[in-house]
Amino acid sequence: MEALGLLLQGFQVLLTVDKLLLMMLGLTLGVFVGVLPGLGGPNGVAILLPLTFSMDPTSAIVMLSCIYWGALFGGAITSILFNIPGEAWSVATTFDGYPMAQKGQAAEALTAAFTSSFVGSLAAVLLITFVAPSVAGFALRFGPPEFFAVYLLTFCSFVGLGREARHKIVISMTLGLLLTGIGMDTVSGQLRMTFGFTDLLRGINFLVAVIGLFGISEILLTMEERLALRGHAARISLKVVFRTWASLPRYWATLARSAVIGCWLGVTPGGAIAASFMGYNLAKRFARDKTGFGKGRIDGVLAPETAAHAAGTAALLPMLALGIPGSGTAAILLGGLMVWGLNPGPLMFVEHKEFVWGTIASMYLGNVVGLVLVLSTVPLFAAVLRVPFAAIAPMIIVSCAIGAYAIQNAMFDVWLMLGFGVLGYVFKKLDIPLAPLTLALVLGNRAEDAFRLSMIGSGGDLRVFWSNGLVGTLTTLALLLLFWPAITGLVSRAGRLVRADA
């Protein structure tokens, strides 16, 4: 009941004219970047983040989170109408969404996608509402060893549970940790790896790196691919909406299963991409008629969209409660909160209640308004895809440059942004994930400080990370996750040997 009372206070903070206007602006921009291949939620949030520095934190996070919700909705438009995923997690939506559009059922597919997106996000927001305060209250017991154990758990889970090649995840994360060491050491005050460049005394700014890694690199890739978009037209009528909604109760098991999968993979580092494919595969596995998948089945749209949106929203739970992002976008939002002078984590639920519950309230209202917006404006946003990319790309690059320069009013940051853009382009060509790099850039300094404070307090004794049941459990779990692929491999090999002997 306390959570409901605090949520009502959050709605009181949110329901002002200026914040509602920012919500609409954020949703519109989010759908816009979601439908354009080469942008998407993380990129849109990264590019527009510097423009919110003049706002109060609540207004800024409302606008940025609505950009994210809008991008989640918008990614389905290109997947269904053009067979081009606007977002990486929309790939599975193309399997049945585009065949439905080819059969003249584009409106039904879009309605199903938007509605299931709303259901998945709603499930995750309910999870955040009732679980985050408990997690935050529990985390108030944490000291430096416990915080380092949590950071270690996050890093190890990315390596052990990640879907990409392990060595590529390690390369990405190691580079991020190395970059966080540039600048002044916060413990000793010594300069590290500045190589005589005075511009590096402040270190590598997280936002400059993110704008380059996500914004500039995607522009370079899209320019290389020379995308020419041709798709199916769609206009959603109320009749189609109500007819599609009437059919959804038949798929309640698919929706519930995909929401659970998405929430789980959002809180853990599995992410929305893994959630969408897992949701689709399980829907196919449990379906009575498996042959229809890939030919235009509505549950082939419902499952990946529900799972992806639940995962994308649930990733904000560990970010708010523990200060640990569950996705690349959550990491970008975490960096923004730190710029605004807020430290996400358990104390934020005590010291900044209005901000936290205003943010959670914006998730509810943003999803409702976003659903209405996309259902009523599909033709408009689909038409955006017919604008020549040559006209859009320069605008995006200029926005990135202005955003990078505005952070510290330094031209050096613009060149640094371009360098990170090239790095992001190379990483994507080599299929090296950017999420571990982003995570390390955000948490690297905090993890180092927690580790060194733990070592100072214990006199250099590593046993401090097993000094009580809480920190010992976290550290042991982190090591188990790090070596999880090897453990599962040994178990499966032992099982094969036992069966062979039998």
Residue 133 inside a domain? The answer is yes
Residue 461 inside a domain? The answer is no
- Per-residue model confidence (pLDDT) at position 231: 47
Considering the domain architecture, whether residues 362 and 475 belong to the same structural domain is answered as no
Cβ atoms 358, 466 nearer than 8 A: no
Considering the domain architecture, whether residues 343 and 477 belong to the same structural domain is answered as no
**Domain-ending residue, one of 381, 401, 421:** 401
- Per-residue model confidence (pLDDT) at position 121: 87
Cα separation, 102 vs 249, whole angstroms: 25
- Please state the domain count of the chain: 2
Reported pTM? 0.67
Residue 443 inside a domain? The answer is no
Cα separation, 433 vs 375, whole angstroms: 33
Considering the domain architecture, whether residues 271 and 389 belong to the same structural domain is answered as yes
Residue 106 inside a domain? The answer is yes
Considering the domain architecture, whether residues 348 and 476 belong to the same structural domain is answered as no
Who's near 70: CB < 8 A, 6+ residues apart?
26, 27, 28, 29, 30, 31, 32, 33, 34, 370, 373, 374
Answer left, alpha or beta for residue 431, where phi above 0 means left and psi between -120 and 50 means alpha: left
Residue 205 inside a domain? The answer is no
- Per-residue model confidence (pLDDT) at position 381: 59
Residue 263 inside a domain? The answer is yes
Considering the domain architecture, whether residues 386 and 481 belong to the same structural domain is answered as no
Q: List average pLDDT for each run of 10 residues in the chain, which is 502 residues long.
A: 70 78 84 66 70 76 80 74 64 78 79 86 86 70 79 78 77 88 77 78 77 76 62 60 83 88 73 72 76 77 86 80 70 74 73 78 83 76 61 72 73 87 88 80 81 86 84 86 80 75 64
Considering the domain architecture, whether residues 391 and 496 belong to the same structural domain is answered as no
H and E: helices and strands count for the chain: 23, 2
- Per-residue model confidence (pLDDT) at position 227: 53
Percent helix, strand and coil across the chain, each rounded to 5?
A: 80, 0, 20
Considering the domain architecture, whether residues 384 and 273 belong to the same structural domain is answered as yes
Q: Which residue(s) pair with 191 in the sheet?
A: 184
Residue 362 inside a domain? The answer is yes
Considering the domain architecture, whether residues 397 and 476 belong to the same structural domain is answered as no
**Domain-ending residue, one of 375, 401, 427:** 401
Query: Domain of 494?
Result: 471-502
Residue 146 inside a domain? The answer is no
Cβ atoms 97, 71 nearer than 8 A: no
- Per-residue model confidence (pLDDT) at position 61: 79
**Domain-ending residue, one of 401, 434, 449:** 401
